[in-house]
Amino acid sequence: MQRVKYIIGYYATLLMLFVPARLLFLAVNADESYTFGDYMAVAYHGLQLDVAIAGYVTALPLLVSVVSLFVKLPLRKIMLPYNVLVALAVALAFIADISLYPFWGFKLDSTFLLYIDSPANAFASVSVGYLFVRFAAVVAAVTLVTLLLYRVTPEKFVPAQRRVLSCVLFLFIGGLLFLGIRGGISESTNNVGRVYFSDNQFLNHSAVNPIFSFIYSLGKIQDFSEAYNYFPEEERSQLFDNLYVTDDVITDTLLCNTRPNILTIVFEGMSAVFVEELGGARPVATNLSRLSKEGVLFTDCYANSFRTDRGLVCLLSGYPSFPQISVMKSPIKSQGLPSFAGSLAAAGYENTFLYGGDINFTNMKSYLYSGGYNKLYADSDFPHEAQKTHRWGVNDDITFDTLYSLLQRQPLDKPWQMTYLTLSSHEPWTVPHNSVPDDVIANAFAYTDSCFGLFIDKLKKTTIWENLLVVCVPDHAVVRYPRGTEQTDRDRNRIPLLLLGGAVAEPRKIDILCNQTDIAATLLAQLCLPIDDYRFSRNVLSPSYKYPFAYHSYNNGISFIDSTGFSVLDLDAGAVLKEEPADEEHARLRRAKAILQSTYGDYKNR
């Protein structure tokens, strides 16, 4: 009986820890007020995954208890290292989950592993004080959990007399643990979506045990083409093959000539919500708004992804993003992608990349060099005192000045393209600027925009401007802004796309629905350069662009917009989060699934 009490006590202690930790996640990260009933619903529905993890963790104490039927064991001494390990895992998982969610907007999973090889960059969004508080919380949590598990662990077990009966009893207990781990006796096994219960995605996320989410995602990072094998090949082909039909025919010329010099400014996290001309609620990016009247503004463009490493590949390679893969992190795969810079290099352009942060982060350097860039400038190329003006590296006022200097030194005898990635409009939103004092996030974007405005006004006064095309576009939209914004909001991933410069023929607005991935093919067609290698990028100004749509992937879901409406699918739960308007045939989601299946198949075969 003592052994049974130990197993029950150990198991119950874990459940007792998981429930309040999950409710703490809800309380800390809530963007709005939730009722007592919401908290109870999160606690109740999340129990299924808590039971699974408690079962996993209790398996070893159960095995040790069985061994102790035959051998005398100093149980507390034997179990102490395991208990400390369990305490560390629980503390790290829940505290990391609570801390990362405001930045990422999804539960702790294997995505975390993609960035752990560069810890300095991974922690650059937060202050030393922030890290100290989390470290102290981990230490306190490890101590508490270790003490609780220590107290439920008997000092020792002596061999039992009724061993056969005890073995039968433990076999029964083991079966119960297995059923809890599996999720019952039905055909389907436990998955993250099992605990989803609400049309409010944040409440669903709050119910998910982060340890389960992490372990579950690890099992899905191998063969994704099989994981998303929604349709037989013939049906997949019918759904997909007409989605990316395009050509390099020019019927709408935006430029004065086909060989301008090109400056691509990639704004970190800039969303349409900050641009008044795109429906922004308040004037934040006032210079983008002002300059949009002087260039070509695409008013209905959507980002394909949610992180810089994914968004850059979408932009520069015209290659779609994936829910759980960073293509940039895999040199074997990324080096075979087409590249805007590579296409320009083949036409005689020299390509340069400028970034004020660590260009080795997420394997960016390898991707850029293999994509056709000749020169790369990053944080290490700046004076030491400039390298720490922002938590991620060099502030935008300094890098915009450096950009101006680099442009002055570009060759006169051959065309060039320069790509510049801004940095300051990134967590922790600390910038030397205070035009929006009541909103640190909006203020950070206002700062970057102010640097941009000063730079463009200065550049206009030079001869460089006469034959220059400036492409202004973000890498992705800002996460969870305004407060409460989720992937189920139609304009969550809407971004500005603006073409400026003396090479632009005339100011205008283009209201065509399109994706960030379409920029490569559209611009190359304007330059009369081939686009055959860009299978997933469309020339949106071509007569063959007859079905405008925008596709987006995030962790772990996909969304799709066309003229009929907007749909969002959660891949963990297999649940439709939004269909607006209702679509009984799920036509939009069927196309989105076909894109996901097709792009994963392409990725696997590269």
Kindly state whether residues 304 and 400 are assigned to the same domain.
yes
- Measured CA distances, 174 to 61, 69, 168, 569 (Å): 11, 15, 10, 36
For the ranges 33-42, 285-294, 355-364, 374-383, the maximum mean pLDDT occurs at: 285-294
Rounded to the nearest integer, the mean pLDDT of the chain is 89
For 407, the domain range is: 248-506+517-534
Is residue 224 scored above 60 in pLDDT? no
> Quick one: pLDDT at residue 226?
63
User: Does the residue 423 lie in any domain?
Assistant: yes
Kindly state whether residues 132 and 28 are assigned to the same domain.
yes
- With cut-offs at 50, 70 and 90, classify the pLDDT of residue 502: very high
- Measured CA distances, 472 to 175, 297, 409, 496 (Å): 59, 10, 21, 8
Is residue 263 scored above 70 in pLDDT? yes
**Per-residue pLDDT tens for 427-437?**
899 999 999 99
**Per-residue pLDDT tens for 46-89?**
898 999 999 999 999 988 888 877 888 898 888 899 999 999 99
pTM of the shown model: 0.78
- In single-letter form, the type of residue at position 357 comes to G
Kindly state whether residues 194 and 275 are assigned to the same domain.
no
User: Does the residue 239 lie in any domain?
Assistant: no
Stretch 102-111: mean pLDDT, rounded? 75
Q: What CATH number does the domain containing 460 carry?
A: 3.40.720.10
Sequential DSSP letters for 191-225: -GGGG---S-HHHHHHHS-HHHHHHHHHTTSS-HH
Kindly state whether residues 141 and 192 are assigned to the same domain.
yes
> Quick one: pLDDT at residue 84?
94
In percent, how much of the chain has pLDDT > 70?
94
User: Does the residue 540 lie in any domain?
Assistant: no
User: Does the residue 145 lie in any domain?
Assistant: yes
User: Does the residue 201 lie in any domain?
Assistant: yes
User: Does the residue 277 lie in any domain?
Assistant: yes
Kindly state whether residues 147 and 281 are assigned to the same domain.
no
Cα separation, 550 vs 385, in Å, equals 42
The total number of structural domains that make up the chain: 2
**Per-residue pLDDT tens for 113-169?**
666 666 666 666 667 787 888 889 999 999 999 999 989 988 888 776 777 776 777
Cα separation, 397 vs 487, in Å, equals 32
Kindly state whether residues 254 and 109 are assigned to the same domain.
no
Q: Pairing state of beta strands 508-510 and 296-302?
A: parallel
Kindly state whether residues 414 and 305 are assigned to the same domain.
yes
For the chain, the residue count is: 606
User: Does the residue 566 lie in any domain?
Assistant: no
User: Does the residue 310 lie in any domain?
Assistant: yes
